[in-house]
Amino acid sequence: MGISFSAMRKLLEQENICDALKGRVRYFATRYRKSHDEMGRVAILVDEVEVMKSSWFAWSQKTHDIYHATRSAHNKGLTFEEYWNKVDIEAHTQGGFDQFCFYNAFHKYHNQSIDDSLSDDDPIIRLFAVLDKRIGKRRLPVIREAIENQPDWLKPFYQLRLSAEKEKIT
């Protein structure tokens, strides 16, 4: 059985987050059970301001667009599962994910090393890792160098971590 969202949220917001950001970052995920498709949305709040948000619709639209733009690549030796994983990661890179993508990313992040999480293909996993307390002063320069290679929606979280640690150090 999987971990509940409240337990996941407690781990992300209280136990795994660096001390400099405790109480500033909040995760929100919901499922609209009375909607026609029972899908929901995800949001990340920093200082009570919604910095990142996505929904099943955004994820679905992005995966649809990517699939149709790149489907000829499916014939280049990739299995359907490998191809679909690439499409899914590209949708995450473009900022499209739903609550289930969020839960799956957390599960993977929670069950692998912090080094693997920092270099993971999935930007949602890198989001969790960059805010993690296991990233210390020695790894901050690596984070600073990695900002340029991150998706636009993820860059503010890298900058948030660096600025929070700078405030804490000085």
Q: What band does 170 get if pLDDT is binned at 50, 70 and 90?
A: very low
Of 34 and 24, more confident: 24
Q: What band does 13 get if pLDDT is binned at 50, 70 and 90?
A: very high
- Residue-level pLDDT at 79: 81
Q: What band does 1 get if pLDDT is binned at 50, 70 and 90?
A: very low
Q: What residue numbers bound the domain in which 43 lies?
A: 5-169
- Residue-level pLDDT at 72: 65
Of 5 and 120, more confident: 120
- Residue-level pLDDT at 168: 57
Do 123 and 52 touch, CB atoms closer than 8 A? no
Mean of pLDDT values over 112-141 = 93
Do 154 and 124 touch, CB atoms closer than 8 A? no
The pairing of strands 40-46 and 25-31 is antiparallel
- DSSP characters over 84-143: HHHHHHHHHHTT---HHHHHHHHHHHHTS-HHHHHT-S-HHHHHHHHTBTT--TTTHHHH
Structure tokens at 11: 């781990």
> Per the structure, how many domains does the chain have?
1
